[in-house]
Structure 1
Amino acid sequence: MAKFRKKTSPVIKKDDIGSKLKLPFKFVGEFISGCVFSVRNKYYKKNPRALVKARKRHEKYRKKLRAWHSKFSKADKKITRVTVNAVNAIDSKTDAFVERADIGLVVLAHRFYRAKAWVELNKKLLLCQFAGLVGIVLCCMGIFNICTAYEYSYNGRSLGLVNNQEDVLRILDLVSENLTEEHNAEITIDKDEDIDFKRVFSVGKEADNMEQVLNKLTYMQDLVAQGYGIFIDNKRVAIVDNEETANAVLDAVLAAFAVPSETTTYEEIGFAEDVSVTQVETRLGLIENPDDVVQKILTGAEEIKTHVVQSGDTFSGIAKTYNISTADLQAANPLVTPERLVIGQEIILTQAVPMLTVQTVEVSTLTEYLQFETVYEDNPSVYQGETNTKVAGQMGERQVLAKIVKNNGVEVARMELESHVTKEPVTAVISVGTKELPPKQGTGTFIYPVTGAKLTSRFGMRWGRMHYGIDLAIATGTKIRASDGGTVIFSGYSGSYGYVVKIDHGGGFVTVYAHCSKLHVKVGEKVYQGQHIANVGSTGRSTGPHCHFEVQYLGVQKNPLNYL
């Protein structure tokens, strides 16, 4: 066991220089201690109880110090014992390890010399085996190269196989240049970040040649490209190839609502929305054609309105009025039955409107029409309810210079700068009939249904078949009057006759008025002789505007000229 010697403190000799230097300080300390003891003794003589308390307190402190000293002594002995044991154990294991290492080295040296001797004896065999192993490895490598190829991909998208990575890398710069020139956009392919290679088995698969690699990279639509986005109120609506194209698109949208004119001068042209053009990173396939972008901005938004059904409205008529296809109107109103519209019913109108609001401030010279006045005069020679125009009213005109604000071509504000009348309106004079109406029944006599007409076809055979009336040719819109009083028994469309009116005059007589352009009477209505019942037209099977007039007696057509 290891033993430890107790170290002894060096002895300080009396003639030591340090001891001589300490003498003055020792004297001062003894003097101060004497003074302190003298003051303490005087205090305790005056206060004996304090002396007792102090002694008890000092005794208590001495006990604590003795206990602490005992604990420290035990701990010191324990630490010393543990340390000695640890040192002895380390010495023992070190000796054992050295002994085993010596034995291992001897065994290893013995084995090495035996292996060396065996190699010397079998040198040729080993060389043959090594050469064979090298040959097998080279054959395997050749087979691996033949059966595998490099799969190349762009941003994770596999494009094909190549035998050599350089077949792809050599043409990347050429592809970037071609695409940039073709699409007029900055397109760059990063060989380190965009292109990936992976070794895969290629048995039964054909590797791409340089031309095929070039075509695949050139016509790939998801290539990363630098484009320019058009933003409306910070929302991107389109991407084009460059900034010039984006500005050209916006100019085209402005031009759609700011048409140059000799009578108009534009003071301001701009967008009501916040419009910006910013460079963005995108895919090649997302870059849009500028003409398509213009069309999208002009029609890409929707506006929803409602139409309240009025008397006479039809579903197709509403669609035509608002320039909407019937199919689109039906899609916007799936619960509406087109054949059964109800007055007051609301029809939803979805119309395509521009995504941008082009606001213009223009100074224009305009021609405005002035409404004419109408004067009515009584005419005792015309039946009551009928009117004739003696003097046709004519609209007046005035020229106006105004500053106009428009949104997408629709006027929203106007300030008139100056104006003057260029043509005074002409007052219309209308003659109003005051003559008492004749009885609304047959009189037994018939009059011509139109006046001033030309008889172009008589009753009888015509073109190989029977013509059952007479044709009175005259301009479209001419008034057709009832040949005699009676009751309307038909008013509507009837095949080759077109729009037709039939009147029963009683006594077995019925007159027919065909090819009308407009009807003014209804079935069951009673009319008097000379009443305006329709207008001349050319509906049905007709070669021109005329009134086909028939007289029937007991259901048999008669020659109308015999009764007029």
Structure 2
Amino acid sequence: MNPIQTDATPKSENLAGQSESAENARFAHSAQEKKRNENRRKASRYMKDLQRRSVVGDMLYMVGFWVEYVFVCVGRRLGAVLHGVADTALNLLLIVLRPILIGLITLVEDLTGPFVRMASGIRHIQALPDTMEESEAGTVRAAKAKYLASGIRKYAIVVWNAITYILPAVAAAGLVVIVRGGLGLKFVLNVQVNGENVGYVESEQVFESAREDVQSRINTAKRMLQNSGSDITDTNWDVYPTYSLSIGNQTMTESEIANAILRTASDEIINGTAVYVDDQLLYVTTEGDHLRTYLENIKAPFEDAMDSSIYTAFAHSIRLVDGVYLQESVSSYADVISALSEGGGIHTYTAVEGDTVQSVIDTTGVNFDSLAQMNPDLLSLDQEIPEGTVITTGASSAELIKVKVVRRDTETVAIPFDTQNSESDQYDFGKVVTVQEGVDGSEEITYETTMIDGAVTDRQAVAYNVLQAPTPEITVTGTKLKNGMFAKVGSGSFIWPVPGYKYVSRWMGNGHRGADICAAYHTTIIASDSGTVVAAGWHYSYGNYVEIDHGNGYRTLYGHMSEIAVTQGQAVSQGQTIGYVGSTGNSTGNHCHFEMSYNGALFSAYTLFPGM
């Protein structure tokens, strides 16, 4: 037995283990190598990226640098330009202002120089005692007197020059004061009668109106005397007021100055109230307050304080004016009332034999409701009225004091919509397509209705208020012609006269002068070309027909129309409606007889429209 202890592992197994260990070592080494290579690649990529980033950074830096540089340069150039412009403008301003400034400085020096020198001399006189000894007091006084006399002789001209400057300034100041005072003055007209001042008015217009008022008052007095049978010969009736320009503040109105003129011109005056009708003085009374009450009572029945839409007034313009009037012009209160009330009363109708209520209405024009209200015995329109029956038909106010009632009311009316039409070749000729439906609008109209004695005398619209604007109807008329309905002739063209209908029952030939185009009754017939209608009327064979001269030797005729839409001498355009299909004249069915001629010779429409 071998005494040496050995490993129980076989040699082959040791070799295998060693081989596996070597393999593992190589694998580990390979993995480490791969990792190192990967790190090298990452490092390489990082360096490349770093280089690229550096390039981008440099590029951005350069861009920023050059942009800033350009802006700085432009700013400097612009600043230099602006600085140059400013310097140039300043130099020009100095060139313009320098002579003015030099002149002003020279003027100030010329004006103040003598006074400065005079002040210097005075200071010199005051300083003389300081330069001489006390024992020389007499000498000082003599020196002062001598220096002063010399200064007066030397500067006497200064005083004169000062006066030449001061006096114009004082005069200018005085002128300003005078002008300002004059502008503040109020110029008025001083009215005089027989050399005596009666008052002031502000304008010639007021004076003329007052003078006319005075003359009107005098004429009223003359008329009253003439009506009483008196003979007017006294020249004292004439009053001639005059005026002159004056300065004042207190002025009179037209009525006040008229009263003052009469007070000055005559002693026979009285305070009263004038009645002006339509701006004409008709009467004068001393009972003005009573007359006002009387007139208000006449209007009272027509007024309605609760209804603001109604207002009343006299049909004639009536004004009552208090003032001074000649005694001869005054009428009694009763006479004024009687004169104003003339012409009023009840209107009646005396029935004749055979009269009925209806015949009375036809004769008088009074409606049944009004007639029945005034005559309760009238019950129906066919009621017979005995001969001689007096029927009340109305009442009227006195002419001068007729009361008019003006009522304001509103009415809502429709505003018709307009139709806006255009043409399009997207639709067949003559077809009208409504793109937008029209809708009527509405507006509120305010009316003022004037009634006198219950009858409407005037009605006027005084205000309009649109509540809703109308929506226009928008339509499109087709102009597309079907195949074969358009023919070119020389420089002109013709279109088929009955668009939409192509069937021709008979062409020209064998004594037949044209083409008979079959169509429904009242289908539109259009002008085949522009021209002038030379005939439009009735023909025993054509019936209602139209003939058009196209001005280039061509003429067309359209017969058997149910209705003609043009007149002789009328200019028509191609495609314009000239009539409607019918069967008038020598015809057995609705169709359009279409003739064409050139220089008076007929030719078949088939030559132009063979596709029909």
- Same fold judged by TM-score > 0.5? no
Greater share of helix residues, 1 or 2? 2
Q: Report the TM-score, using the length of structure 1 for normalisation.
A: 0.28
Greater share of strand residues, 1 or 2? 1
